[in-house]
Amino acid sequence: MNKLLGVRSLTTDEETELRRRATARTLPARVVERAKLIWLLHAGERVPAVAKRLGLGADVVRVWLKRFNAEGLDGLRDRPRAGRPATYTPEQAGTVIESALTSPETLGLPFASWTLDRLAAYLWEQRAIPIKRSRLSEILVAEGLRWRTQETWFGERVDPAFAEKRGRSSASTPSRLRTAP
């Protein structure tokens, strides 16, 4: 015979916190969903009904119910997950940041500023760190550095003699004819 699975008796603090989480609008969706799940079970609904109402599988509802019964509100938190180890060592990440903060001209390179592609090529060719643009950007953002996506023509030019080389602006736009008042 199957044993009915239900919520253990709640303390007043747990009941208050579950109600707060279940109706919260600023908490993450998964926190609200888990609190609703336990709240509905506490109100007397059965596992299949709660699963259908929240759009979950009955096995998922049972997992969270068992964790709540065993650990209380702490059981509703995400647990650390195993994942792929970091691809780059802290030393390599430090090299990436150091290179990004160094002017390419001081390294003897023929350009005045980095782009993600130039930086990735330099790291691969000179430092033997194979790295993609997306990962480069992640490392720099994690360090608090903002990366410009493109150079702009505003501000100081890279070439100090640009104005002289450019010459006079052309008068390609005809002047406007004035109308009589």
Mean pLDDT over 78-92 rounds to 82
Percentage of the residues of the chain whose pLDDT score is greater than 70: 80
Mean pLDDT over 25-43 rounds to 92
Q: Given pLDDT bands bounded at 50, 70 and 90, which one contains residue 174?
A: low
DSSP 141-163: HHTTPPPPSS--SSSS-SSTTHH
Which residue reads 């208050």 in tokens? 16
Contacts of 31 by beta carbon, 8 Å cutoff, 6+ apart: 21, 24, 76
DSSP 21-72: HHT-SSS-HHHHHHHHHHHHHHTT--HHHHHHHHT--HHHHHHHHHHHHHHG
- The 10s digit of each residue's pLDDT in 91-138 is 999 999 999 989 898 998 988 888 889 999 999 999 999 998 888 888
* Crossing angle of the two packed helices 90-101 and 133-142, in degrees rounded to 10: 90
Contact criterion met (CB below 8 Å) for 139 and 88? yes
CA angle 128, 102, 125 (to 5 degrees): 20
**Domain definitions of the chain by residue range:** 12-76, 90-146
